[in-house]
Amino acid sequence: MTRSTALRFLTLASATALLSACAVGPKAPDALIPLSASGAFTTSDLPLASGVVTAEPARDDWWRLYADPTLDGLVAQAFANNNQLESAAANLRADACSANARIAVAQTSIDLQTRTVDLTQRLLEGGAGTGLDTARARSALASTRASLPTLRAARDEALFRLATLTGATPSQASEAARQCQRPPQLAQPVPIGDGAALLARRPDVRQAERNLAAAAARVNVATASLYPTISLGGSLGSTALSAGGLGDDTALRFSVGPLISWSFPNIAAARALIARTGALSDAALADFDQAVLVALQETETALTQYANELDRRTALTEARDQAATAARLSRLRFDAGADSFLTVLDAERTLASADAQLASSDAQVTTYQIALFKALAGGWDQG
């Protein structure tokens, strides 16, 4: 046998031994996404033609849709000091702006009610009014003033938390956020994409998919332990009597047979390991299915909350306009002597309540927008 023939034989024998020592387990289960989860979202309250949302893919830099330089700066500052906190920064700025908006509404009501108190006092002093009307007016004014400290505290809390989030002290809270009078408004429709794009973006779904793949690999390793291990080795050498004869074919010697060894597995232990890893794989598959369902549920919930709050804000806007008309007419009728002061007071209270509810709805719309961006995995890099 020539040296090249011997080397080929040993190479083939070694490869055979390696293949004999390997066992292939079952194919890893696929992380299958239901077909129903890969299409458009089912929420029917947000038609694309309405201009509220679009079918464009969701954006990582979703906060730029508000076209708010102050918000852009706060998010950038939050990124510089923390990780994955853009939604918190946007929420806190919205909270501060919302509190300011409600403070402005309360202050407007206070100004109106102060004029009403002055009017009833003049009427009382002129003999045309009653002490009851004056007391009612003063009570309404005091009640509205009592709401201001709570609103200011809510604004300051949001500002201080925002300062902490951006790595600043409370005294260094954003002055722009302190002065804003309305929550950030979207400058364009919300891009939402579809279910398949959502599941590809969500980090929790991607993590569950990787966990499932790892669990399946462990099942394969455990299954391999059922097979006997065969070790096949050989030796190769030369029996030349001199250095010059080391390369001669006649001096080449090799052996294979004596180095064959077998190792039989402990079947009971191997099957127990397979059962354990199989159970873990089943659990990982269940976790993946749950992650998909939660992702879809959170997104659909955010969409329907956003849609319904938009409807609510539209209704509240109409209610506020009608309340303003009623308050103006009731004052005119009171001045003309056609209505009592109680009618005026009731109309003004209704207007103040409508203003407060509308300001609260504006804040809730922004909150639901941010929740929607979060559910869509905005801000997560897929790289």
Q: What percent of the chain has pLDDT over 90?
A: 16
Stronger pLDDT, 7 or 189, i.e. the higher one: 189
pLDDT band with cut points at 50, 70 and 90 for residue 261? low
In this structure, of 112-116, 166-170, 289-293, the range with the lowest mean pLDDT score is 166-170
Of 3.40.50.300, 3.20.20.70, 1.10.1060.10, 1.20.1600.10, the CATH number of 191-227+264-377 is 1.20.1600.10
Kindly give, in sequence order, each residue whose CB lies less than 8 Å from that of residue 332, ignoring residues fewer than 6 positions away. Answer: none
Rounded CA gap, 181 and 134, in Å?
A: 32
What pLDDT is stored for residue 327 in this prediction?
92
Cα dihedral 136→141→146→147 (10° resolution): 110
33 contacts 188 by C-beta, under 8 angstroms: no
Side-chain-side CA neighbours of residue 110 (13 Å): 13
Please tell me the least confidently modeled range out of 84-98, 115-129, 258-272, 347-361. 258-272
Q: Which alpha helices (H) appear in the chain, and where do they start and end?
A: 3-20, 69-81, 86-125, 131-165, 175-179, 195-201, 203-224, 267-335, 341-375
Contacts of residue 339, defined as CB under 8 A and 6 or more positions apart, other chains included, come to 330, 333
65-184: in CATH 1.20.1600.10: yes
Give the separation between CA 8 and CA 182, rounded to whole angstroms. Answer: 81
Residue 163 to residue 77: CA distance in whole angstroms: 10
pLDDT at 153: 93
Residues 265-278 have pLDDT tens digits of 667 777 887 788 88
pLDDT digits 0-9 by tens, 99-155: 999 999 999 889 988 988 998 888 888 887 788 888 988 998 999 999 999 999 999
Q: What is the pTM of this model?
A: 0.62
Residue 40, pLDDT > 50, answer yes
* In the chain, where the domains are located: 65-184, 191-227+264-377
For residue 135 the two structure tokens come to 């007391």
